[in-house]
Amino acid sequence: MKVIDIKNVHKTYRKAEVEVHAVRGIDLSFAEGEFAAIVGPSGSGKTTLLNMIGALDDPTEGEILVNNTNVGELKTSRKIDFRMWNIGFVFQSYNLIPVLTAKENVEFVMHLQGKSKAEREKRAKELLEAVGLGDRMNARIGQLSGGQQQRVAVARALAPKPKFILADEPTANLDSKSTSTLLDIMERLNEEEKVTFIFSTHDQRVVKKAHRVVTIEDGKVASDEKLQPPKSRKGGPKKENF
Residue 99 has pLDDT above 90, yes or no: yes
- Which pLDDT value is given to residue 235? 42
Of 114-118, 119-123, 200-204, 226-230, minimum mean pLDDT range: 226-230
Higher per-residue confidence, 236 vs 100: 100
Which top CATH class is 33-45+76-226? alpha beta
What is the layout of strands, in order, in the sheet containing 69-70? 18-31, 2-15, 61-66, 69-70
Cβ atoms of 47 and 93 closer than 8 Å: no
Residue 93 has pLDDT above 70, yes or no: yes
Residue 101 has pLDDT above 80, yes or no: yes
User: Half-sphere exposure (CA, 13 Å, Cβ side) for 242?
Assistant: 27
Residue 239 has pLDDT above 90, yes or no: no
- What are the sequence ranges of the domains in the chain? 33-45+76-226
Contacts of 221 (CB under 8 A, 6+ apart): 26, 27, 28, 214, 215
Contacts of 64 (CB under 8 A, 6+ apart): 4, 5, 6, 7, 9, 52, 53, 70, 71, 72
Provide mean pLDDT across the span 8-32.
92
- Which pLDDT value is given to residue 240? 44
- Which pLDDT value is given to residue 132? 86
- Which pLDDT value is given to residue 238? 43
Tens-place pLDDT, residues 104-126: 999 999 999 999 999 999 999 99
Provide the pLDDT confidence category of residue 230 given band limits of 50, 70 and 90. Answer: low
Provide the pLDDT confidence category of residue 236 given band limits of 50, 70 and 90. Answer: very low
- Which pLDDT value is given to residue 232? 47
Provide mean pLDDT across the span 31-36.
94
Residue 139 has pLDDT above 90, yes or no: yes
| Sign of the dihedral through C-alpha 64, 67, 68, 71 | negative
- Which pLDDT value is given to residue 221? 97
Tens-place pLDDT, residues 167-182: 998 888 778 888 888 8
Residue 72 has pLDDT above 80, yes or no: yes
Q: Write b or e for each residue in 138-176: b if 16 or more Cβ atoms lie within 10 A of its Cβ, otherwise e.
A: eebbeebeebbbbbbbbbbbbbbebbbbbbbbbbbebee
- Which pLDDT value is given to residue 69? 94
